[in-house]
Structure 1
Amino acid sequence: MDSDDRVVAGRAADGDPQAFEVLVRRYSTLMRVYARSILGMNDEADDVVQEAFVTAWQQLDSLEDLAAVKSWLMRIVSRRSIDRVRARHDHDDIIDYDPPAEAEASPAQAAQTRSLASAVGTALASLPAGQRRCWLLKEVAEYSYREIAADLELPESTVRGLISRARVNMAREMQAWR
């Protein structure tokens, strides 16, 4: 479980189901959050993540840079999610992320958390699609600028600009919440 991605992915590529299980445990939550941010629905997000892992299991041996397995998995889930959006002919991007309240959270804290999540969702929904995707990959998935550029097939300078504008727009939209 503590091995780096290159070692775990190499073992999984050699057909080790336990190594692949480590990858699933390591990245399924991140992939689910990202899929949900694109799809706006939990049930579809779970299906997309499952499909992405099936694809990954079938094609892992074709991955050239095993250390890049995280970005490769995120690229698969991103493309699967976008395909789902296109297939349903519903092109409204709705961000519906409602983080669970902490077990010891008071009702006031829970209400504030829901209010913040709603405000972030509204702010994200107001961003242009390119800014939103870049912001989510940077802030939620914790991708580097280089990984985002590779994933979205954009120049790194464009990614930096999109994220910069997204941060300015998010700060402006979130000003009322403060």
Structure 2
Amino acid sequence: MTDLSLASDALLAERSADGDTVAFGILVRRHGPYLRAFATRLVGSNVDADDAVQDALIVAWDQLDGLADPSKVRSWLTSIVSRKAIDRVRARKPSSELDEARLELAERGPEHRAIASSQLDALSSVLAAMPESQRQCWILKEVGGYSYEEIAERLDTTVAQVRGRLARARATVMTEMEVWR
């Protein structure tokens, strides 16, 4: 038996599409931490991020045979996680930004604070304080690398609104992160 942990993403995706659960498990272990971090930045909650990633992996397993380019499995998984995370945010009961920030801080344990750099903590605080629509646009663009059109489609809004939200989010990040320059 060959060591699949050294296999390319494309090979693992192809084998997973054929029903190889071991290959899919390796893909999940390889990309899971990134997907979880991406989802956490979108939803601002570890619990919702875990749920979004889990939902996305279920969808991915069911739809792997439709993946056009197996070498791009990571971006494909990120796209699914993005949709699931946004669904979670939309399903939330409306709450104040302060409640969201408190929830995020409560979920962070001492290990996370010890491991995370001060700069990432500061950025997280800036993002948590942003209006949700601005935060979503910023993360999809700056972390996910999505185009304005893709963001507008995912958030069910217009490209002009995405540009405006993103401009305000970028201005906020630049102002608040000035001390780190």
When normalised by structure 2's length, the TM-score is 0.68
Q: CA deviation at 1:169?
A: 3.7
**Does residue 1:174 correspond to 2:180, yes or no?**
no
- Paired residue type of 2:87: D
Cα displacement string for residues 131-169 of structure 1 (whole angstroms, at most 9, x for unaligned residues): 6445435655xx5566x8657659xxxx99987875554
Using a 3 Å threshold, how does the CA distance of structure 1 residues 4 and 138 change in structure 2: closer, same or farther? farther
Q: Among 84, 87, 96, which residue is 1:83 paired with?
A: 87
CA distance in 1, matches of 2:58, 2:92: 22
* Alpha-carbon distance change, 152 to 57 in structure 1, aligned in 2, over 3 angstroms: farther
Give the alignment partner of residue 10 of structure 1, picking from 14, 39, 51.
14
Divergent runs of 4+, >6 A = 159-165
CA distance in 2, matches of 1:44, 1:145: 21
Flag the 1:151–1:172 CA change in 2: closer, same or farther, 3 A.
closer
Q: CA deviation at 1:52?
A: 1.1
Pick which of 125-134 and 47-56 moved more: 125-134
* Corresponding pairs, count: 165
Aligned mates of 1:172, 1:81 — CA distance in 2: 27
Q: Percent identity?
A: 44
Match status 1:119 vs 2:122: yes
- Compute the displacement of 1:41 (Å): 2.0
Cα distance in structure 1, aligned partners of 2:28 and 2:66: 18
Q: Which amino acid aligns with 1:122?
A: S
**Conserved in 2, the CA contact under 8 Å of 1:75 and 1:151?**
no
1:23 is matched with which residue?
A: 27
2: distance between equivalents of 1:144 and 1:70?
Answer: 13
Deviation readout 1:40-77 (Å, 9 max, x if unpaired): 22222212211111111111111112122111111111
- Distance change (3 Å), C-alpha of 1:67 and 1:164: farther
One of 34, 41, 49 as aligned partner of 2:53: 49
Task: Please give the TM-score of this superposition, normalised by the length of structure 1.
Answer: 0.69
Q: Structure 2: 5+ residue runs without aligned partners?
A: 155-161
When the two chains are superposed, the root-mean-square deviation of aligned CA atoms in Å is 3.5
Could you tell me whether the CA contact under 8 Å between 1:119 and 1:177 is conserved in 2?
no
- In 1, distance between residues paired with 2:168 and 2:6? 37
Match of 1:64, SS state, is coil
Q: Does the CA contact (< 8 Å) of 2:12 and 2:24 recur in 1?
A: yes
Query: Which segment drifts farther, 162-171 or 17-26?
Result: 162-171
State the secondary structure of the residue aligned to 1:101: helix
Unaligned residue ranges in structure 1 (runs of 5+): 103-109
